[in-house]
């Protein structure tokens, strides 16, 4: 169960407690969300850390979500907070195509699924 970064109270579901609790300590809503995400992950997610994963290593948003064990929405919030530009659909599509090609090459030894013998036999 997730707890509040500020007071340690156990949170249930989509609780507004974090924002209210942070407001009592004069912490802005944006900072409260980041502090709560850091608390949930167990370490501080820095701009440099995200740059290395998202920009340099070109990890996708779902991959980041899996690595950090937080939701897609929380990932996008952290990227927006640090003003790290998200990839557009065109950029993400190119990366997916390269990754799919590498997977096909690794598993089946071909660059395209249509080159598989079983697929060629079905098309005849």
pLDDT at 124: 61
**Whether the Cβ atoms of residue 39 and residue 73 lie closer than 8 Å to each other:** no
Q: Residue ranges of the domains in the chain?
A: 88-124
pLDDT at 119 over 70: no
pLDDT at 37: 93
Per mean pLDDT, which range of 68-77, 93-102, 103-112, 113-122 is the poorest? 113-122
Instruction: Give the H/E segment covering residue 107.
Output: helix 89-108
Residue % of the chain over a pLDDT of 70: 92
Biggest alpha carbon–alpha carbon distance for the chain: 71
How many alpha carbons fall within 13 Å on the CB side of residue 26?
Answer: 0
Report residue 100: phi and psi, to 5°: -65, -40
**Measured on CA atoms in the order 67, 69, 20, 22, is the torsion positive or negative?**
negative
pLDDT at 1 over 90: no
Q: What is the mean pLDDT of residues 60-76?
A: 92
Q: Give residue-wise pLDDT tens across range 69-102.
A: 999 999 999 999 999 998 877 766 777 777 888 8
Query: What are 73's two structure tokens?
Result: 């929405």
- Distance in angstroms (rounded) separating the CA atoms of residues 50 and 64: 9
- Distance in angstroms (rounded) separating the CA atoms of residues 4 and 7: 6
Q: Which band of pLDDT confidence, cut at 50, 70 and 90, is reported for residue 50?
A: very high
């Amino acid at each position: 169960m997730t707890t509040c970064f500020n007071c340690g109270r156990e949170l249930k579901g989509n609780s507004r407690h974090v924002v209210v609790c942070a407001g009592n300590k004069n912490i802005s809503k944006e900072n409260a969300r980041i502090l709560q995400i850091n608390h949930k992950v167990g370490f501080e997610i820095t701009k440099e850390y995200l740059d290395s994963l998202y920009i340099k290593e070109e990890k996708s948003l779902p991959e980041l979500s899996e690595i950090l064990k937080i939701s897609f929405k929380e990932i996008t919030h952290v990227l927006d907070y640090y003003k790290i530009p998200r990839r557009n659909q065109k950029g993400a599509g190119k990366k997916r195509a390269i990754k799919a090609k590498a997977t096909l090459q690794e598993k089946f030894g071909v660059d395209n699924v249509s080159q598989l013998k079983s697929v060629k036999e079905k098309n005849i």
